[in-house]
Amino acid sequence: MTGRDLRAAGAGWHPRASVTPEPALRRPLAIAAFALALLGCGEAVDEGVLAGGPPPAPEPPADQALALAPEERPPDRATLRFGVTPAAAGVTYTHELFDPVVRYLGRTLQTPVELVVAPDYQALIDGVVGGDVDFAHMPPLAYVLARRQRPELQLLASQIAYGATSYSAYIVVRADDPAASLADLQGRRVAFVDPRSTSGYLFAYAALIEHGLAPERTFSEVRFAGSHMAAITALREGHVDAAATASGMLGIAARDLPRPTPGASDATELRILFKAGRIPYDALVASPTVPASGAEKIRWAFVRLSTRTAEGRTVLGPSDGTSGWAPAEDRSYDDVRQVLARVEAQRGHRLDAPRPDLAAPAAPTEEATGVLGP
């Protein structure tokens, strides 16, 4: 309780404000009210700050110029390299989504920005860790893995999508699938997105092992589709019986994926079989080579870009769900780290170890990359 609250509590009910009680009770109440009125100052208005409420949302300084000075850029770099993944739907689509953002950044930072679409999550991690990209839009697990290799990475912000700061990992099946629980997936075929995907692999994997189902032994076939849309497509077309994906992807899939041709055995209706955890959206990360003040300007350039403004709505219009970016702290991704630790303990090796682990029994990487570009 604040001091103001205490004062308000002491003031009690203003006689005018109290409800008129039964006549028989009026006198003692009147005396009590009178005493309280004597105690209190009898102000008509009191106000205060409520307990609770949302966490504070930092705003960029209103009139700060965000143009990057030469010394705020990475050394010997004329054009900033902005790394993204083709997570949602492949390279071309990714360009469609991010090109307006890149143009906005160029304008705002007064610096040329180049979009680098990594072929897969590991490539983006390698790019960020190796300094090939200056800042990157990284899925949560990719960020956690990259940060583990390179703790100097600067977390600038977290993406806000569909107005939310976090999403869920789903394991989905076709609506007419008989499976009622994860255990019913025994011996079935399943599609993950990418071994570095948070919702499309890590959280689903963790959910499976929590239910005593080791993916390597449980399923007759495991494939990495490469993107969420590819995984959902594989499910819809009957190549697999279940797919791991993110909560926002079903709506996009329903809207964007091609209608099934009449007579084809293509099921558009999907059903959420399992919902695993809440995952913070993608992390906006700056390479350690970007000077801190430059990274700060990049951060505010992103935070300013939101659907709160007309410009933001224009820039993010094609982004399909991205509402903006909010300043973030590394501990938001601690949940991801915990799940990662569980999965790595189960699998017996680190997820960010060099490629050999991708040669999982029934998951040839070639197939995954093969469905990348639609």
Binding site for other proteins (CB under 8 A): 8-9, 12-14, 16-19, 21-22, 25, 28-29, 31-32, 35-36, 39, 43-50, 52-57, 59, 158, 160, 162-165, 303, 306-308, 313, 321, 323-326
Q: Indicate the residue among 61 and 178 with the shorter CB distance to other proteins.
A: 61
Neighbours of 352 (CB within 10 A): 22
As a whole number of angstroms, the distance between CA 287 and CA 156 comes to 10
Token output for 196: 């570095």
Q: Indicate the residue among 88 and 204 with the shorter CB distance to other proteins.
A: 88
Q: Indicate the residue among 9 and 183 with the shorter CB distance to other proteins.
A: 9
Q: From residue 235, how far is each of 50, 187, 220 by CA, in Å?
A: 49, 16, 15
**Nearest-approach distance from CB 306 to other proteins, in angstroms:** 6
Q: Which residue has the tokens 């790595």?
A: 344
**Nearest-approach distance from CB 283 to other proteins, in angstroms:** 12
CB of 227 within 8 A of CB of 266?
Answer: no
**Nearest-approach distance from CB 315 to other proteins, in angstroms:** 14
Q: Indicate the residue among 35 and 65 with the shorter CB distance to other proteins.
A: 35
Q: Indicate the residue among 30 and 116 with the shorter CB distance to other proteins.
A: 30
**Nearest-approach distance from CB 248 to other proteins, in angstroms:** 11
The span from the first CA to the last CA of the chain, in angstroms, equals: 58
The 3-state DSSP class for residue 207 equals: helix
**Nearest-approach distance from CB 327 to other proteins, in angstroms:** 9
**Nearest-approach distance from CB 8 to other proteins, in angstroms:** 8
Q: From residue 153, how far is each of 39, 89, 124, 148, 358 by CA, in Å?
A: 59, 26, 13, 9, 25
Q: Indicate the residue among 56 and 258 with the shorter CB distance to other proteins.
A: 56
Rounded to 5°, angle at Cα 40 from 36 and 44 = 110
